Amino acid sequence: MSIDRAGLNALMEITSRPELVFVRGQGSWLEDHAGKRYLDFIQGWAVNCLGHNHPAMIEALDRQSRLLINPSPAFYNQPSIDLARRIVESSCFDRVFFANSGAEANEGAIKLARKWGQLHRKGAYKIITFDHSFHGRTLATMSASGKPGWDTKFAPQVDGFPKADLNDLDSVRALIDDQTVAVMLEPVQGEAGVIPAMREFLQDLRTLTRERGLLLIVDEVQTGMGRTGRLYAYQHAGIEPDIMTLGKGIGGGVPLSALCAREAVCCFEHGDQGGTYNGNPLMTAVGVAIFDTLAAPGFLDEVNARGRQLSDGLTALSDKWGMQGERGQGLLRALVMDRDDGPALVQAARDRAPEGLLLNAPRGNLLRFMPALNVTADEIDTMLAWLDDLITAVRA
């Protein structure tokens, strides 16, 4: 199959993309227009938690598409009820609102916190977020994000997101005033380069927010749904946040996200929140199939075993090449290199023959690994061996 260049140019240019068109996926493997296969350690940016085209997803899509696709969010449908119950029963949250993307779920979290501030905190609206954080690409979530330059890109930004430093409680304390309503963070900063919030920091943050009457919001769009080896990453710290957002893995590749909150915070009035596609049965049926696969006995044990294998392998590579080690939780990991080889390695990996390898470099000196949660031990060994060869080639 050749590339339809006129068609390709009909797509709006938003990023530099390699001239490859992917046509097929299976598990940890993707195939392009020319029939070349790639071992995929990006998986749609930590989205395809069961890999490409998992049978449980196909079966759910097929079954639900024959039953009912969209009765409208003004009516109940069974898959959204089933998925909400699963999330509520597996977490500290009491209610769920489904949306279509991580940014949309975070917008909902921001609105819910502001509404709660109007009702209970005399109109307090500021949400303290963190330097280098990533919460999405809508105007409000870009303003909430701590990516350098994002506060001026589409000015004027949405007001009310002062930035603290991750793992520095004093920096949070210093920003609290009577307009503050919440603190929002990623348990592991993903886009920033896999930087975990320390367990003790999360615990202290929970204590501080309780003392000061503030909501604690965890953005688990990347860390949720088993990615870090627990169903939700906040569980590692033994804390109970007030609000959590889920995205990416919750749909396993289809557009689905969730805003979860404890009963005391669920203060939306009719008309405050909604959306045409929200909680549609086609996507939530897939969510149920994904959830039941992740929650099956032994699944997360295997994620943790593969996470340790990847961690050990990356540490060995780091030692061999004089790099600066690796970090992460579960199957969200990063290799910290000693120089800015990232982009060159990403390209060399993709160009590798006869089979390519898909990697991500969120920073010049960093490689990020977010394979399918059911990646096999062999696939991890293969990736590590190829990566060692690629480093040799790039540094030759």
Ligand X SMILES: *Cc1c(COP(=O)(O)O)cnc(C)c1O
Does the active-site annotation cover 163? no
Nearest to 296 by CA among 49, 52, 58: 49
State the binding string over 236-265 for ligand X (x if CB under 6 A, else -).
Answer: -----------xx-----------------
Q: Which is nearer to ligand X, 195 or 303 (CB)?
A: 195
Buried b (16+ CB within 10 A) or exposed e, 123-133: ebbbbbbbbbb
Does the active-site annotation cover 219? yes
Q: Which is nearer to ligand X, 90 or 138 (CB)?
A: 138
Name the catalytic one among 93, 134, 291, 369.
Answer: 134
Provide, rounded to whole angstroms, the least separation between the CB of residue 369 and ligand X.
15
Q: Are 227 and 46 in contact (CB under 8 A)?
A: yes
State the binding string over 172-211 for ligand X (x if CB under 6 A, else -).
Answer: --------------x---xx--------------------
State the binding string over 58-97 for ligand X (x if CB under 6 A, else -).
Answer: ----------------------------------------
Q: Which is nearer to ligand X, 146 or 313 (CB)?
A: 146
The DSSP annotation for 41-94 comes to: SSHHHHT-TT-BT-HHHHHHHHHHHHH-S---TTS--HHHHHHHHHHHHTSS--
Provide, rounded to whole angstroms, the least separation between the CB of residue 75 and ligand X.
25
101 binds ligand X (CB under 6 A): yes
107 binds ligand X (CB under 6 A): no
CA geometry: angle 381, 386, 387, nearest 5 deg: 95
# residues contacting ligand X (CB under 6 A): 15
Calpha distance 341→45 (Å, rounded): 20
Q: Is 390 left (phi over 0), alpha (psi -120 to 50) or beta?
A: alpha
Does the active-site annotation cover 134? yes
State the binding string over 299-318 for ligand X (x if CB under 6 A, else -).
Answer: --------------------
Quickly count: other Cβ atoms within 10 Å of residue 280's Cβ. Answer: 24
Nearest to 291 by CA among 326, 258, 243, 268: 258
Calpha distance 368→232 (Å, rounded): 20
368 binds ligand X (CB under 6 A): no
Q: Which residues bind ligand X (CB under 6 A)?
A: 101-103, 106, 134-136, 186, 190-191, 219, 221-222, 247-248
| Catalytic residue ranges | 134, 219, 248
